Amino acid sequence: MAKERKCRICGGTGHDARNCPQKDANDPKSKIVWYKISNLTDTQADKMTSAVIKAKRRIAPDADAAFAKGDTKSLPGRILKALGIGKDDD
C-alpha cells in the first residue's frame, strides 16, 4: 500500500508543500498597480481620484495607497513625493 502524502505546510493529505493551497496565505503581498489617466479636467480628476479611493477601501482596505494629482510638469515630482522619495517643495 502506498504511503499517503502529507503536507509540511498545512499538515493536510493528498498534496505536498509545492502545491499546497495555503502556501501563499502568509506571504506578504507584493503586487502594485499603477494607472495613468490623462486629458482630464480638474473636476474629472477629482471624481476619478475619489472613485479610486472608494474602490481601494472596498476591495483592499488593508493595502497601502499613494495618490498624486497635478499637471504635466508637476506630476512627476508629486509622484516621487507620494512614494516618499521626492523633495518636499511644491
Question: Residue 88 has what DSSP assignment?
Answer: S
pLDDT digits (tens, 9 = 90+) for 36-48: 888 999 999 999 9
Q: Could you read off the pLDDT of 17-70 as tens digits, one per residue? A: 888 888 776 666 777 888 888 899 999 999 999 999 999 999 888 888 888 888
Which three-class secondary structure string do you get for 8-72? Answer: CCCCCECCCHHHCCCCCCCCCCCCCCCCCCCCCCHHHHHHHHHHHHHHHHHHCCCCCCCCCCCCC
Provide the residue ranges of all domains of the chain, joining segments of one domain with +: 44-90
Size of the chain in residues: 90
Which pTM does this prediction carry? Answer: 0.56
Give the C-alpha separation, 59 to 64, whole Å.
Answer: 12
